[in-house]
Amino acid sequence: MARRPKPNLSCSFRYAWEGLCYVIKSERNMRIHLMIAIGVLFLSAWLRLSSIEWAIIVVAIALAFAGEVLNTAMELTIDLVVTDSNAMAKWAKDAAAATVLVTALASATLGLLILGPRLWQKLMTIP
């Protein structure tokens, strides 16, 4: 089988963007992650985070997004390969879903550690 030529850099970015758009359009949980991320970004701006805190928040958001994208890719691949009910396919999908759970919990923990004390402090100064 002949190999396809590698796409140029702009095509690679376009394909990645199309993949991200597909996940956002097709996966309810990704849209939930996106809405939470937007809220966290606004809250972060309101709390005037330091550069390091911003970096941690951005990494936490990227971690959650990456988990959801990976889960979707795994599920699509399994659905493409396995057409009948299969216990191994179920476990593979469950393991991929666990990736989302782990990354979301880690992201939420980072968000709470960074935003929680600052938000509490800000709320305590409101008359």
Cα 95 to Cα 71: distance, rounded to the nearest angstrom: 9
Is residue 75 part of the annotated active site? The answer reads no
Cα 50 to Cα 116: distance, rounded to the nearest angstrom: 14
Cα 10 to Cα 125: distance, rounded to the nearest angstrom: 49
- DSSP characters over 74-122: HHHHHHHH--S--HHHHHHHHHHHHHHHHHHHHHHHHHHHHHHHHHHHH
Of the residues 18, 27, 53, 68, only one is catalytic, namely 68
Active site residues: 68
